[in-house]
A and B are shown apart, each in its own frame.
Chain A
Amino acid sequence: MAGALPLSKTQKLLHALYYMLLFIFAVFYLLPFWGAVTTSLKSSAEVFTTSPLSFPEKLTLEGYRAAFNHLKKPLLNSLIITAGGTFFSVLLGSICGYAFAQYRFKFDNVIFVLVVSAIFLPYQAILVPLFQTIRRLGLYDTVWGLILAHTAYGIPMMTLLFRSFYGDIPRCIVQQAMLDGYRPWAIYRRIILPSTKIATVTAVVFQFASIWNELLFSLVLTGYDAMPATVSLNQMMGTLAAEWNVQMAGSMWLALPILVLYIIMGKYLIRGYMAGSVAAT
C-alpha cells in the first residue's frame, strides 16, 4: 500500500497469520455453497457416484430444468408476495418514520415504543392468531394474505429504520418547507423522499431479502395456490427423495433474485449503511 509505514518482521508474521485465518474461515463458510453449486450442475446419476464437493465430470442443466418446472408457479407467487410486502411495508414504515422523526404530537414517544416493540415479538407467538385472522378475512392461501402479514410484520422494523434516517434530516429543512407553504404530505414527497433515496434502497433490499427467504408465515398461511418458493423447495425434499441435483438447483433459483438485487444495489447499500454518519446537508 502506498504511503503505509514499513512493517516489522513480527507485524508481517501477524499479518500472514490473520490472512491465513481469514482464508480458513472463508473456505469453511463457502464450502456448503460450493457443494450446492457443483451438485446442481451434475446429472442425477453422477450425484451418487461422486463426492458432493467434486467438480462435475459432465456439466448439465438437467437439474435446473427440473427444478424450474417444479418451482415455476411458487417462484411467481414469491415474486408477487415479496414485491407487494416490500412495497407496502417500506411505504408505510417510511411514512410512520417521517411522522415520528419530524413531528411532535401527543404521546408520540409512547406510540413509537409500542410500534417498535412489535419487532421483538417472535414469529411463533403470533402464528395462531395470525392464522385465524387471515382465515376470517378470507385471505387464507392467497398472495394477499401473505402480503398483509409481511406488511404488518415489517412496519415496526421499517418505522425504526426510517425514523433514524429521517431524524438525520435537520428539522429546519422541514420548517423551511412549511414556511415555503408546503403541507406535511407534500414535504414528504418533495423534500424527504428525494433527499433519502439511498435510505429507501437500503430498506427495500433489507425487506425484499427477508420476505423472499421467509418460510414460517408462508408455511402456515398458504396451501397450494399461493405457495411461495421457500415452502415449495422445502416440500421437494419429501417428494423428490434424494434428487440432490434438482434440490440444489432449486436453491440456486431461489437465491438468484437476491443475488441479482445485491449486485445491482450493492454500491448504494454500502453508502446507505453509512448514511447515518454524514449530515444530510
Chain B
Amino acid sequence: MPSVSIRNLTVAYNKGRTLALDNFNLDVEDGEFCVFLGPSGCGKTTALLCIAGLLVPTTGSIKIGDQVVISEDKKTFVAPQERNIAMVFQEYALYPSMTVRGNMSFALENKKYSKEEIERKVNSIASMLGIEQLLDRKPAQLSGGQRQRVALGRALVRDPSLFLLDEPLGNLDAKLREQVRFELKRIQRRLGVTTIYVTHDQTEAMTLADRIVLMRDGKVVQEGSPKDLYHKPINTFVAGFVGTPRINFLTCDVSVKEGRPYFAFGQSALPGSQALAVTLNGKSCVVGIRPSDFMLVDTTEPEAIKGKVEVVEPLGDEIVVHFTAEDQLLVGKFSAADEEKVNERIAVKVDPDKLHIFDAETGDRIDG
C-alpha cells in the first residue's frame, strides 16, 4: 500500500494565471526515501506544504496511509495538527524561548505521553544524534550544525507516519552537509519512516533517494531511481540537471554510412549505435555525453575526437579535463592513472551505446 498518494494536485495563484503546481501525481511507497528535486520555483516546496496541510491546494486530493487528508471536493480536510507528520524546515524553526529539551518534547507533551516516557525518548534520540550535552541550551546558543541536528531530533522523536524535510542541509557548510547526509540516510533506514525530502542539490538527491521526482514549472518531468535518471534521462533538462560535472551537449547532423549513424559536428563525427540508424537518418539531434563516458585514446586513433586541453582539475583519484574540440568546450572525467596521457592535446572516444540522443527541437530522448 502506498504511504502517500497524490492525485491531480494543482496550486494556482493570481486567479489561476500562475501555477505553482500543475496536475501533480505521485505515489510514495511505505518506507521509501523520496526526493523532490528541481530548480528553485519548480513547486517542490509547494507540494510539500500541501502534504503537510499547511497549504490548501486549488484542486486535487491527497491520501496518507489509508486516510484521505484532502479530498477532491474539499469536503474532507484533515488539519496539520491531526496528520502526524514531522517536518524539518530549511530555517530549522526551533522555538526560540525553549531549551533543546523543550523543543524536542513539545510535540510529545501534546500527545499526553508520561514525563518518564518523554524523558526516555528525548534522551535516546539526543544520544543518537550526539546532542545530549546541548539539551539544556537555548537555540540562540547553538551553531548552525547543532540547530540542524536539534530540528532533526525534534522530528525523529515523534514516531511520525511521514517525515518531510525541506532543504534541511541548505544552511550547512560542505563538510557538515556530507556528514549529516550520511547520518540522515542511516537513521531513515533504521527507522523505516516514509520520507519526502526537498532539495535543489542533485548530489543530495542522488545519494539519498530511493526515488527522485524531478520537477520543473510545477510539473513532474521524470521520476525514477537515481540510476534511471542518470542513465536514461527522458530529455535534455533531466540529463543536464543530474550528474556532476554536467553532461556535454553537442548539436549534430546525422548521416548513415554502412548501416551506422554518424553524429557530425564540425569536422568530427561520432559513431552511434546501429539500432538508431533508421530512426535518425538525415535528422539533426542533440547528443549528450557524460564526462565519465569519454575514453582517452591515442591521438592517431581513427574516428576519435581530438581536442585542445584548456584546464585540468585534479581531484585525487580522478581528474576533470576541460578541453575544446571543434570550437566546443567539453568536459571529461578520467582516472588519475591516465593523467600522463593528458598533454596539450588529447583524443577521446565514446562507447556508441553510452551516447544519449535527444530530438534537437523538443529535447526529448530518442531510443532505438
Instruction: List, sorted by A's number, 8 A–B pairs whose CB atoms are closer than 8 Å.
Output: A175-B54, A178-B53, A179-B54, A180-B107, A180-B158, A181-B110, A281-B91, A281-B140
- Asked if B85 is at the interface of the complex by the 8 Å CB criterion, the answer is yes
Q: Count residues of A near B (Cβ-Cβ below 8 Å).
A: 19
Q: How far is the CB of A121 from chain B (nearest CB, A)?
A: 35
B89's contact among A172, A180, A181, by CB below 8 Å, is which? A172
Please determine whether A179 and B139 come into contact, CB atoms closer than 8 angstroms: no
B97's contact among A170, A178, A180, A195, by CB below 8 Å, is which? A195
- Asked if A53 is at the interface of the complex by the 8 Å CB criterion, the answer is no
> Given A170-B93, A177-B95, A281-B92, list of 6 further CB < 8 A pairs?
A175-B80, A176-B93, A178-B80, A180-B110, A182-B110, A195-B97
Chain B residue at minimal CB-CB distance from A176: B93
A181's contact among B52, B81, B97, by CB below 8 Å, is which? B81
Q: How far is the CB of A277 from chain B (nearest CB, A)?
A: 16
B106's contact among A170, A180, A280, A281, by CB below 8 Å, is which? A180
Please determine whether B93 and A182 come into contact, CB atoms closer than 8 angstroms: no
- Asked if A65 is at the interface of the complex by the 8 Å CB criterion, the answer is no
Interface of A is mostly: helix
**Chain B positions near chain A (C-beta within 8 angstroms):** 52-54, 79-83, 85-87, 89-98, 106-107, 110-111, 139-140, 158
- Asked if A237 is at the interface of the complex by the 8 Å CB criterion, the answer is no
Q: How far is the CB of A4 from chain B (nearest CB, A)?
A: 31
- Asked if A194 is at the interface of the complex by the 8 Å CB criterion, the answer is yes
Please determine whether B52 and A179 come into contact, CB atoms closer than 8 angstroms: yes
- Chain B residues, CB < 8 A from A191: 95, 97
Q: How far is the CB of B111 from chain A (nearest CB, A)?
A: 7
- Chain B residues, CB < 8 A from A128: none
- Chain A residues, CB < 8 A from B82: 181
- Chain A residues, CB < 8 A from B85: 179
- Chain B residues, CB < 8 A from A175: 52, 54, 80, 87, 89, 93
Q: What is the 8 Å Cβ interface bit string for chain A, positions 133-168, against chain B (1 contact, 0 not)?
A: 000000000000000000000000000000000000
A220–B331 CA distance with the chains assembled, in angstroms: 84
A191–B80 CA distance with the chains assembled, in angstroms: 17
Q: How far is the CB of A102 from chain B (nearest CB, A)?
A: 12
Most buried by A among B79, B82, B93: B93
Given known A-B contacts A172-B89, A175-B93, A176-B87, A181 and B54 have beta carbons under 8 A apart: no
**For chain A residues 264-281, which have a beta carbon within 8 Å of chain B?**
280-281
Q: How far is the CB of A108 from chain B (nearest CB, A)?
A: 15
Q: How far is the CB of A86 from chain B (nearest CB, A)?
A: 23
Please determine whether B95 and A181 come into contact, CB atoms closer than 8 angstroms: no
Q: How far is the CB of A165 from chain B (nearest CB, A)?
A: 13
A181–B109 CA distance with the chains assembled, in angstroms: 10
- Chain A residues, CB < 8 A from B54: 175, 178-179
- Chain A residues, CB < 8 A from B52: 175, 179
A180–B81 CA distance with the chains assembled, in angstroms: 6
- Chain A residues, CB < 8 A from B110: 180-182, 186
- Chain B residues, CB < 8 A from A190: 106
A116–B85 CA distance with the chains assembled, in angstroms: 37
- Asked if A72 is at the interface of the complex by the 8 Å CB criterion, the answer is no
Chain A residue at minimal CB-CB distance from B82: A181
Please determine whether B93 and A195 come into contact, CB atoms closer than 8 angstroms: no
Going nearest first, the 10 A-B pairs with the smallest beta carbon separation are A180-B107, A194-B97, A172-B93, A176-B93, A181-B110, A172-B89, A178-B80, A195-B97, A173-B93, A181-B81
Q: How far is the CB of B340 from chain A (nearest CB, A)?
A: 53
Please determine whether A195 and B87 come into contact, CB atoms closer than 8 angstroms: no
- Chain A residues, CB < 8 A from B89: 172, 175-176
Chain B residue at minimal CB-CB distance from A186: B110
Q: How far is the CB of B155 from chain A (nearest CB, A)?
A: 9
- Chain B residues, CB < 8 A from A177: 95, 106
Q: How far is the CB of B105 from chain A (nearest CB, A)?
A: 10
Please determine whether A181 and B107 come into contact, CB atoms closer than 8 angstroms: yes
A190–B105 CA distance with the chains assembled, in angstroms: 13
- Asked if A183 is at the interface of the complex by the 8 Å CB criterion, the answer is yes
A195–B97 CA distance with the chains assembled, in angstroms: 5
B87's contact among A179, A182, A186, A194, by CB below 8 Å, is which? A179
Chain A residue at minimal CB-CB distance from B107: A180
Chain B residue at minimal CB-CB distance from A280: B96
Chain A residue at minimal CB-CB distance from B89: A172
A186–B53 CA distance with the chains assembled, in angstroms: 18
